């Protein structure tokens, strides 16, 4: 196995050996005492991660499942989707695919949504739900979700559905204090677990809406999640092996503490931005796509110098044994992305940046 510290995709992220190994635990029945004890142990740690006193739902699905679930349970009819990249665009497309009337409010890719502009769009009261990507993984931009929640609620009976897939556990997310009506993440990003689990927190107003929703389905029925989670159970057979990995990883996160984990992510992000500035000053223009003050701590999207292609830079890095990512969607060739999240450290990141410097200057 390659040594830890060479895999910097913006998801899935690198998983430590002990967490991978935890998945080899023998099977247990999902309606037995063993599972209840496991879930009872997991729950308080997850609540610390989400900064909530609400139960944290564990879904055996990828994050997209809970994006869809949030709309089926929490959106009544008309949705405003804040789009500023590929993942927020996906949220909009999911709303349409669920049969909702959804309008996209577009911001530049790399840019963010300001509370002023969202407040303006909500005037007139035609929307009952807003979707947003907190950390837009395709561009590295970080939306100001605390302020967006404030203006959403100021518009009346409107809920904010937050995709914080590359936010939670890597950048501050205060589910309760910021009154995020629904916030979700996936296992394979800043939580540094294998893919396959998603986590979400619904405030009571979402459950109230869910009760009146006809087409909310079964698999992502939040009323089912609520009921079973409170009993330390899951509505159906969970991905048992992943739950063992989760329990192990939450021990690591509890030991590190969330504020220290956030600070480690901030340090990696700042190191990357400073490196880009140094490179640019030395005549190798590498620009952080997202504006200062609105940059995610978990992923940086960098424009590559003229004459270089994102996919080629990516391949050259791979030849050095380091995995980063080309740009996403329409940014595929003009940018590269470094996922500095999960269990990585500044020391490992420095090796990535040194290799990237060689690739960009050769």
Q: Which residues bind ligand PLP (CB under 6 A)?
A: 11, 62-64, 87, 133, 137, 163, 165-166, 186, 189
Location of structure tokens 């990696």: 268
Question: To the nearest whole angstrom, how small is the minimum distance from the Cβ of residue 342 to ligand PLP?
Answer: 13
Question: To the nearest whole angstrom, how small is the minimum distance from the Cβ of residue 34 to ligand PLP?
Answer: 27
Nearer to ligand PLP by Cβ, of 79 and 133: the residue is: 133
- CA angle centred on 331, ends 325 and 337, rounded to 5°: 25
Tell me the three state secondary structure of residue 228: helix
Nearer to ligand PLP by Cβ, of 35 and 61: the residue is: 61
Task: State the Cα–Cα distance between residues 181 and 210, nearest whole angstrom.
Answer: 12
Question: To the nearest whole angstrom, how small is the minimum distance from the Cβ of residue 305 to ligand PLP?
Answer: 26
Nearer to ligand PLP by Cβ, of 11 and 110: the residue is: 11
Nearer to ligand PLP by Cβ, of 63 and 80: the residue is: 63
Task: State the Cα–Cα distance between residues 339 and 135, nearest whole angstrom.
Answer: 12
Nearer to ligand PLP by Cβ, of 129 and 133: the residue is: 133
Assess contact for 224 and 91: CB atoms under 8 A. Answer: no
Question: To the nearest whole angstrom, how small is the minimum distance from the Cβ of residue 104 to ligand PLP?
Answer: 16
Nearer to ligand PLP by Cβ, of 148 and 165: the residue is: 165
Question: To the nearest whole angstrom, how small is the minimum distance from the Cβ of residue 254 to ligand PLP?
Answer: 24
Question: To the nearest whole angstrom, how small is the minimum distance from the Cβ of residue 195 to ligand PLP?
Answer: 6
Burial of 58 (0-12, 13-18, 19+ CB in 10 A): buried
Question: To the nearest whole angstrom, how small is the minimum distance from the Cβ of residue 326 to ligand PLP?
Answer: 15
Nearer to ligand PLP by Cβ, of 190 and 355: the residue is: 190
* Strand positions, DSSP E, 307-353: 325-326, 335-339
**What burial letters (b/e) apply to 101-125, b meaning 16+ CB within 10 Å?**
ebbbbebebbbbbbbeebbebbeee
Nearer to ligand PLP by Cβ, of 159 and 299: the residue is: 299
Location of structure tokens 């190994």: 21
Task: State the Cα–Cα distance between residues 288 and 297, nearest whole angstrom.
Answer: 12
The backbone region for 5, taken as left when phi is positive above 0, alpha when psi lies in -120 to 50, beta otherwise, is left
Assess contact for 92 and 129: CB atoms under 8 A. Answer: no
Three-state SS sequence of 255-284: HHCHHHHHHHHHHHHHHHHHHHHHHHHCCC
Question: To the nearest whole angstrom, how small is the minimum distance from the Cβ of residue 114 to ligand PLP?
Answer: 19
Task: State the Cα–Cα distance between residues 243 and 23, nearest whole angstrom.
Answer: 8
Question: To the nearest whole angstrom, how small is the minimum distance from the Cβ of residue 87 to ligand PLP?
Answer: 4
Nearer to ligand PLP by Cβ, of 142 and 279: the residue is: 142
Alpha-carbon distance values, 179 to 59, 91, 116 (Å): 22, 20, 18
């Amino acid at each position: 196995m390659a040594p830890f510290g060479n895999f910097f995709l913006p998801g899935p992220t690198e998983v430590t050996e002990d967490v991978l190994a935890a998945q080899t635990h023998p099977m247990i029945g999902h309606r037995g005492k063993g599972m209840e004890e496991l879930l009872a142990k997991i729950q308080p740690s997850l609540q610390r991660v989400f900064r909530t006193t609400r139960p944290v739902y564990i879904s055996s699905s990828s994050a997209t499942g809970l994006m869809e679930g949030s709309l089926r349970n929490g959106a009544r009819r008309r949705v405003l989707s804040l789009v500023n990249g590929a993942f927020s665009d996906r949220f909009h497309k999911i709303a349409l695919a669920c049969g909702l009337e959804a309008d996209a409010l577009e911001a530049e890719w790399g840019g963010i949504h300001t509370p002023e502009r969202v407040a303006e769009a909500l005037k007139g009261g035609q929307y009952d739900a807003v979707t947003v990507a907190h950390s837009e993984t395709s561009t590295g931009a970080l939306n100001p979700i605390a302020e967006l929640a404030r203006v959403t609620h100021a518009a009346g009976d409107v809920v904010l559905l937050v995709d914080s897939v590359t936010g939670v556990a890597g950048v501050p997310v205060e589910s309760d204090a910021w009154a995020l009506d629904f916030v979700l993440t996936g296992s394979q990003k800043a939580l540094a677990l294998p893919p396959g689990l998603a986590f979400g927190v619904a405030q009571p107003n979402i459950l109230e809406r869910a009760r009146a929703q006809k087409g909310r389905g079964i698999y992502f029925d939040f009323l089912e999640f609520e009921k079973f989670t409170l009993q330390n159970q899951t509505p159906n057979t969970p991905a048992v092996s992943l739950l063992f990995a989760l329990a192990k990883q939450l021990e690591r996160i509890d030991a590190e503490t969330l504020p220290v984990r956030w600070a480690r992510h901030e340090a990696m992000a700042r190191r990357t931005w400073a490196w880009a500035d140094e490179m640019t000053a030395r005549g190798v223009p590498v620009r952080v796509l997202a504006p200062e003050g609105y940059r995610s701590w978990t992923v940086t999207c960098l424009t590559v110098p003229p004459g270089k292609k994102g996919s080629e830079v990516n391949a050259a890095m791979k030849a050095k044994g380091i995995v980063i990512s080309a740009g996403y969607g329409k940014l595929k060739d003009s940018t590269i992305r470094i996922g500095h999240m999960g269990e990585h450290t500044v020391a490992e990141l420095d090796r990535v940046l040194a290799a990237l410097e060689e690739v960009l200057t050769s």
